[in-house]
Amino acid sequence: RPAATNPWITRYIFPGGHLPTLSEMVPAIEASGLVVNDVEVLRLHYAATLRDWRTRFLARRAEAERLYDARFCRMWDWYLAAAEAAFRHEDAVVFQILLARRNDVVPATRDYIARAERRLRRREAALSPPRERAGGTGLTHYR
């Protein structure tokens, strides 16, 4: 259900930010004349993204501290950890919503996504330069 954004996050991380619920978004979508064709819940995907961001942040924390300060780093570390926990274990959620002007223009299943991903992988493989192993170093070099 809709709730106020955490005041600490609003003050220090995302001033004016708000994570809307589906029930807050749908009335505006309907009023616009658009049709909801698909909704994907990305809660656990976003938790993994936050985990990865935190891992990368911590790996370069000393650099961030030189650019900002220790207080900033503590706040950002706490935010990333708390946000991951909220998406993984609490009720924080984000959505990807597929909207259209008509409900007959979007495929009935998500099969088209997998087909498009396979085509993209084949195209990327065809464009990638061949690789070769550098003599026993474990490094990969492009020819």
50 in a structural domain: yes
* Domain count within the chain: 1
Indicate whether 131 pLDDT > 60: yes
Top pLDDT among 60 and 110 is at 60
Q: pLDDT tens, 75-122? A: 999 999 999 999 999 989 999 999 999 988 888 888 988 999 999 999
In a domain, 106, yes or no: no
What range does the domain containing 81 cover?
7-101
Domain membership flag for residue 133: no
Distance CA 106, CA 97 (A): 12
DSSP one-letter string for 117-137: HHHHHHHHHHHSPPEEE-TTT
Q: Region of 33 please: left (phi>0), alpha (psi -120 to 50) or beta.
A: left
pTM of the full structure: 0.74
